[in-house]
A and B are shown apart, each in its own frame.
Chain A
Amino acid sequence: EAQVTQNPRYLITVTGKKLTVTCSQNMNHEYMSWYRQDPGLGLRQIYYSMNVEVTDKGDVPEGYKVSRKEKRNFPLILESPSPNQTSLYFCASRAEAPTYNEQFFGPGTRLTVL
């Protein structure tokens, strides 16, 4: 089954404790992306990657890091989480550009930073 998986689905942590949210896709997609969804703000892009070893900032990259060492995985790293990073996070992938190809989203990771 073609899918995007994220782990963990739920995470409660404390300020400053480094964490990683994993994302993996089995569709051989070149493009992957991370979003956060907050009430009243919709979906905002954090980082994206157009191919292996190629990453770029989205609209809200501060406080996040990503890496794309292999095609299928695109982990999101919070080196020192803060309460304002409490949010619902979605990973997505799609076939190569152009951007009109539909993105496939993962089920989401709900992160709470205390």
Chain B
Amino acid sequence: DQQVKQNSPSLSVQEGRISILNCDYTNSMFDYFLWYKKYPAEGPTFLISISSIKDKNEDGRFTVFLNKSAKHLSLHIVPSQPGDSAVYFCAASAYQGGSEKLVFGKGTKLTVNP
């Protein structure tokens, strides 16, 4: 049962344009969502997060949108740069009864072409 889904394995955009990465989840208990970026041969690095009580969080060129009713979130990168080329993981977390659940999606490989 895949609770966090990133349905696009890859995405290719031109430098300067907008990149939109999507993520869907099924567990309504998730209350926090995070995006991580991963370059080859490195560990993932935190990018941006959003609480379920918000619908938008912005940090520079990166904005995450959350639609709770649709159980959908998206990461917008504007403008996209070649250095943004990486694999992006969406993650969702819930903390229940003293234990936590943190689930990652399968990732979307973003390629930004010069």
Query: A-side interface residues toward B, CB under 8 Å?
Result: 4, 33, 35, 40-45, 48, 50, 56, 59, 90, 92, 97-100, 102-108
Contact = CB atoms under 8 A, between A and B. Distances in A.
Contacts of A45: 102-104
A86 B103 CA distance: 21
Given A56-B99, A99-B95, A43 B44 contact: yes
A108 B95 contact: no
Given A107-B42, A108-B42, A99 B104 contact: no
Contacts of B94: 99
Given A41-B106, A42-B105, A4 B43 contact: yes
B93 A100 contact: yes
How many interface residues does chain B have, given as a range?
20 to 34
Contact of B106 (A33, A42, A106): A42
B89 interface: yes
Contact of B43 (A40, A50, A90): A90
A42 B45 contact: no
Contacts of B102: 33, 45, 48, 99
Contact of B51 (A44, A50, A100, A102): A100
A44 B104 contact: yes
A42 B49 contact: no
21 contacts: A33-B102, A35-B104, A41-B106, A42-B105, A43-B44, A44-B104, A45-B103, A59-B103, A92-B43, A97-B95, A97-B100, A99-B32, A99-B95, A100-B34, A100-B93, A102-B34, A102-B46, A102-B49, A107-B43, A108-B42, A108-B43
Interface of B: 6, 32, 34, 36, 41-46, 49, 51, 89, 91, 93-95, 99-100, 102-107
A33 B51 CA distance: 21
A47 to B, nearest CB: 12
Which among B36, B105, B106 has the highest number of chain A CB atoms within 10 Å? Answer: B106
B24 to A, nearest CB: 14
A46 to B, nearest CB: 12
